[in-house]
Structure 1
Amino acid sequence: MGLDAKPVNLRCTGLILRRAHVLLCRRTEDWVLPGGTPKDGESVASCVRREVREETGLAVLPGGVAFVLETTNPEYGQHLIEIVLHAVDDDPESEPHGAEAGLVPSFVHLEHVPSLGLRPPIGGHLRSFHAGGAQRTAAYLGNVWRPAPAEARRTW
């Protein structure tokens, strides 16, 4: 069975920058941006807010799309799409704290990112985004689904 027949996993993550530092979560063998899988009916922005709070204790306001990435691993039949939203934390003086087992959040200086085992390996993109500033984001439109006029009048 090819990858086209496998489900696509969605991950929603937050890119939170403070000056020349990025918020990352250290796991046992690697580092990741804070984020996770949306719950049923949860928007990407809501997922980012929830996951960042759960993993770091910080409250953030997601903005535009920093970037979207895709990873596939045909050997294991895995296909992942990750939407990374640039987010600003509500209290830039607050420190992240480990709120989820197995994750240790911290702000890491961007010059140290290349030496980390960042998964996926997007350190160069993080540094480029920082250099370009938030004006490089794409619009995040949220849920734009609207029922067709006939569907809106249906009574089941």
Structure 2
Amino acid sequence: MSNSGVAGFNQTQLGKMIRDKNFSITPYISDITQGVSGYAIGDGFESALQLLNLYFTSPRKDAEVWKTYISQAQSALTRNANAPGSVYQDTVLAVLGNYAPRSMPATADKLNAASLDKAYDFYKARFADASNFTFTFTGDFSVNAIIPYRQPT
């Protein structure tokens, strides 16, 4: 989803808009957590928070990005199908994961069964409410300088 852009902007348009800005925001979903990583330097803080808000309120579903992602994943499966290192890694992960579905390697059938709508709904469910997130800010700033950006409760 993070490769699809936000709101009405695809990833290319978004990249052009923020190219000269001093910030980066990237949402992620891992096996057991979800979150947002990023940074902002100087005057990029407000823009970073605006983009962060868009990732929560206006994620974008891009069918072309999805097709490209699935195609690249299928190519990687084909390329690594008989590579000893990949076969070994897949086996180790399956055994250590006790053959749980999430520990099993990707297959062509699993990729073919994947759905953009399901992925989008999953993302939206995880990022539906920012109040469940803990935000940690580090760096050279004063608390009073960022207080004005706080959402009223």
Shorter-chain TM band: under 0.3
Bigger-Rg structure (1/2) = 2
Task: Report the structure, 1 or 2, having the larger strand content.
Answer: 1
Which structure is higher in RCO with an 8 Å CA cutoff and minimum separation 6?
A: 1
Task: Report the structure, 1 or 2, having the larger helix content.
Answer: 2
